[in-house]
Amino acid sequence: MADRFFRSGNPGLNDKTFAKAPIAGAAEPMTLSGTINKSFLLLIVLMLSALWPWSQYLSGGDAAVIGPALTIGAIGGLVLALIISFKPTTAPVLALPYAALEGLAIGGMSALLEARYPGIAIQAVGLTFGVFAVMLVAYRTGLIRATARFRAIVIAATGGIALVYLVTMVMGLFHVQAPVFSITDASPLSIGVSLVIVGVAALNLILDFDIIETGVARGAPRYMEWYCGFGLLVTLVWLYMEILRLLAKLRRD
C-alpha cells in the first residue's frame, strides 16, 4: 500500500525512486526546507545558464551562434536526466550540471522565438510561475488531491503524450510531419492539443508536491532532496516549453 504514494508521471519522481532508497532509517533524512532550497538553487542555475545563448543571439541576431548551445544543452541534458533517473544517488553531483545544460537549451529556444514574437519569453515565464503557484495552493488547500485515481489518470496521460512525441520524432526522421504538433500550426485543433498538454504538465506538479511531502514524512535519505529538486525542475521545464509553444501558436501571423 505504501508504494502507491510514490507513483508520479514525472520520470524523475516515481515509486521506484523511493523503493531504491532506505526509508525511515537514514542518518540524515531529507527535509522539506532542504528540498525547497535545492530546487531554488537548480532553478537559479538554469536561469543563469539560459542567459548566455539568450544574450548571444539577441545581441547579434545570428541563429548560428546558439546552435552549439542548443545541441549540447538538449543532448547533454537528456543524457544526464536518464542517468539521474536510473541512479538517484548521482543527483547531488549531476543535478546542477543538468540544470545548466537545460538552461542552454531553453535559453536558445526562447531567444529564437523572442526574436520573432517580442515579449513571448517573459509571458511564458510569468505563466509558468503562475501555474506553479496555483497548483501549489490547490495542493496545500486540498482542492486537488493526489488520489490513486488522479495519479493513474495523470500518469496515463503523460505516458501517452511521451509516446506521441516519440512517434512524431521518428516520423520526422523520415520527413513525415504531424502538423498538429508543429509549432508552426495555429489551427484550432493544434492549439487545443497544446492546451491539453499544458494541463497535463501542470497536473504533474501535484504529483511532484505529493511525492516530495511523502518522502519527507517517510524519512528518505538526504540525497533525495537533490533528486526531488531535479524531478520538480523536469516538470517546470516541460511546462515552460509547452507554454512557450502554445503562445507561439496563438501569436502566429
pLDDT confidence tier of residue 180, bands split at 50, 70 and 90: low
Model pTM above 0.75: yes
Chain mean pLDDT for the chain: 85
Q: Which of 104, 96, 101 is nearest to 55 (CA)?
A: 104
Lowest mean per-residue pLDDT among 36-45, 155-164, 168-177: 168-177
Q: Which three cell numbers stand for residue 221?
A: 535519505
Residue 2 has pLDDT above 60, yes or no: no
Q: Which three cell numbers stand for residue 100?
A: 545548466
Yes or no: say if 72 and 107 are a contact pair by the CB < 8 Å rule.
Answer: no
Q: Which three cell numbers stand for residue 195?
A: 492546451
Residue 8 has pLDDT above 80, yes or no: no
CA 220 – CA 238 distance, rounded (Å)? 26
Yes or no: say if 225 and 10 are a contact pair by the CB < 8 Å rule.
Answer: no
Rg of the Cα atoms in the chain: 18
In b/e form, how buried is each residue of 192-228, taking b as 16+ CB within 10 angstroms? ebbeebbebbbbbbbbbbbbbbebbebbbbebbbbbb
Residue 59 has pLDDT above 70, yes or no: yes
| 72-115 per-position pLDDT tens digit | 999 999 999 999 999 999 999 999 999 999 999 999 999 989 88
Yes or no: say if 207 and 8 are a contact pair by the CB < 8 Å rule.
Answer: yes
Distances (CA, A) of 216 to 23, 73, 86: 10, 31, 21
The helix or strand, by DSSP H or E, that contains position 177, with its residue range, turns out to be none
CA 253 – CA 246 distance, rounded (Å)? 14
Q: Which of 79, 37, 83 is nearest to 228 (CA)?
A: 37
| 11-46 per-position pLDDT tens digit | 555 555 555 554 545 568 899 999 999 999 999 999
CA 123 – CA 135 distance, rounded (Å)? 18
